[in-house]
């Protein structure tokens, strides 16, 4: 049986004028949801009151996962309906905003400690959890998937606008998120003990509040026996979220097989990994990405093809190859979330409110 995979998605709550509204806790109270105790399948608040987060259960079957991603989006909208809001799968707000930190001690401490970085952290991501058998297997996976994470960011890129302006990036969320001290790629660790020692050392610096603030692009999850891949923007539509999840599972399975076969991990040069992520965030699917095979620029279509080729055996064994091929075809046809937002902006004559409105429809499509 294929490894289980689960998806967490963060959404903006927006009002009639398209601007984010601070109604997360009010929406949760109205639904009777008990925030932050549900885990898989839950509807929760996030760092900002202008966000809701959903989480699927772990699923082996990709169609079941896709169905649950869609159901989570509907559940979030039903909660938003109770407070006169809409949910939008946008990784940053196209319209100007002032974020409202959720009134929880840890979040308020982060706001005080990190200043503008925390106050402007109204960004929405897609986190994919893939099951592992142990921390040792998880670290072996982390040591091998780093070069292939930037293409996942390019596939998901869905945040071209920031504070009322076109940022020039396909994923400006990746730029905003990079302000956190522990964000981005990590080195190879070799063993689970070395990984945990590194996390402990980061916490011991007193710079971050706790282990949960180790924001590597991929990490061992604290709450579940999973590798958590955190690099992706929240995807505009459920199809793209399903695609990212399938490819993430394929990467984990491929890496675990290589480790079990005794194949050495590649040399991870964090300066190249960081640069590859920057390029993916800059142009998404519209320009060149860095090929993990050569570390030279290549068309995004070619680099994504290299990713699919790398995980092909795992996709075939999980029964996912046909679905991934179909979903990739749809994504290339649309250009991805950032391209769609810019097309809507042009179609509306330059109205960012129209971009948000169309995004709320795409979120539930």
Verdict on whether the full-model pTM lies above 0.75: yes
- H/E element holding 108? helix 105-114
What is the rounded CA–CA span in Å between residue 250 and residue 320? 9
Residue 357 has phi, psi (to 5 degrees) of: -60, -45
**In which region does residue 284 sit, left (phi positive, over 0), alpha (psi from -120 to 50) or beta (all else)?**
left
- Residue 36 predicted with pLDDT over 50: no
For residue 292, what is the DSSP state? T
Whole-number pLDDT of residue 185: 98
Whole-number pLDDT of residue 41: 67
DSSP-based three-state secondary structure for 86: strand
pLDDT confidence bin for 32, thresholds 50/70/90: confident
Q: Which residue has the higher pLDDT, 262 or 38?
A: 262
Residue 94 is encoded by which pair of tokens? Answer: 């196209």
Give pLDDT tens digits for 288-335: 999 999 999 999 999 999 999 999 999 999 999 999 999 999 999 999
Query: Which residues lie across from 220 on neighbouring strands?
Result: 227
- Residue 40 predicted with pLDDT over 70: no
Whole-number pLDDT of residue 37: 44
Per residue, the 3-state secondary structure of 2-47, as one string, reads CCCEEEEEEEEEECCCCCECCCHHHHHHHHCCCCCCCCCCCEEECC
- Residue 79 predicted with pLDDT over 80: yes
Spatial CB neighbours of 244, under 8 Å, sequence gap ≥ 6: 126, 128, 152, 155, 156, 232, 235
pLDDT confidence bin for 255, thresholds 50/70/90: very high
Residue whose entry in the numeric block shows the structure tokens 């932050």: 36
- Residue 247 predicted with pLDDT over 60: yes
Residue whose entry in the numeric block shows the structure tokens 């690099």: 231
Residue whose entry in the numeric block shows the structure tokens 């142009």: 283
Tally of CA atoms within 13 A in the half-sphere of 334 that contains its CB: 22
- Residue 35 predicted with pLDDT over 90: no
Note whether 48 and 100 are within 8 A (CB): yes
**In which region does residue 263 sit, left (phi positive, over 0), alpha (psi from -120 to 50) or beta (all else)?**
beta
Strand residue runs (E) in 86-141:
86-88, 125-131
Nearest to 322 by CA among 332, 310, 307, 312: 312
Rounded mean pLDDT, 1-21: 97
Residue 239 is encoded by which pair of tokens? Answer: 């199809």
Spatial CB neighbours of 84, under 8 Å, sequence gap ≥ 6: 15, 16, 23
Q: In the CATH hierarchy, which fold is given to the domain comprising 5-364?
A: Creatine Kinase; Chain A, domain 2 (3.30.590)
Q: Which residue has the higher pLDDT, 42 or 309?
A: 309
Rounded mean pLDDT, 227-253: 98
**Mean of the per-residue pLDDT values of the chain:** 96
Whole-number pLDDT of residue 34: 53
């Amino acid at each position: 049986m294929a490894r289980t995979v689960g998806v967490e998605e963060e959404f903006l709550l927006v009002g009639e004028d398209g601007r984010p509204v601070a109604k997360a806790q009010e929406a949760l109270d109205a639904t009777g949801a008990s925030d932050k105790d549900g885990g898989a399948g839950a509807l929760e608040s996030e760092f900002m009151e202008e966000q809701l987060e959903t989480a699927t259960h772990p699923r082996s079957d990709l169609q079941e996962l896709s169905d649950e991603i869609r159901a989570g989006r509907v559940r979030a909208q039903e909660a938003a309906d109770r407070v006169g809001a809409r949910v939008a799968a946008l990784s940053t707000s196209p319209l100007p905003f002032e974020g409202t930190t959720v009134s929880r001690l840890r979040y308020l401490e982060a706001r005080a400690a990190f200043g503008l970085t925390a106050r402007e952290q109204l960004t929405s991501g897609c986190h994919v959890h893939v099951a592992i058998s142990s921390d040792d297997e998880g670290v072996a996976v982390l040591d091998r998937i780093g070069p292939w994470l930037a293409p996942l960011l390019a596939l998901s890129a869905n945040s071209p606008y920031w504070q009322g302006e076109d940022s020039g990036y396909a994923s400006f969320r990746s730029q905003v998120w990079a302000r956190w001290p522990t964000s981005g790629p990590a080195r190879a660790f070799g063993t689970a003990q070395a990984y945990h020692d590194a996390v402990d050392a980061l916490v011991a610096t007193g710079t971050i509040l706790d282990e949960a603030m180790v924001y590597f692009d991929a990490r061992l999850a604290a709450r579940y026996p999973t590798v958590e891949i955190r690099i992706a923007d929240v995807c505009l539509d459920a199809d793209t979220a399903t695609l990212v999840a399938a490819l993430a599972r394929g990467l984990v399975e491929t890496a675990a097989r290589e480790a079990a076969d005794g194949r050495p991990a590649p040399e991870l040069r964090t300066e190249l990994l960081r640069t590859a992520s920057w390029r993916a965030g800059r142009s998404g699917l519209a320009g060149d990405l860095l090929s993990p095979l050569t570390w030279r620029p290549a068309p995004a279509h070619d680099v994504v093809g290299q990713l699919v080729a790398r995980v092909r055996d795992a996709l075939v064994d999980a029964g996912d190859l046909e679905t991934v091929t179909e979903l990739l075809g749809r994504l290339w046809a649309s250009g991805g979330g950032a391209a769609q937002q810019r097309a809507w902006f042009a179609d509306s004559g330059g109205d960012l409110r129209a971009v948000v409105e169309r995004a709320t429809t795409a979120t539930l499509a």
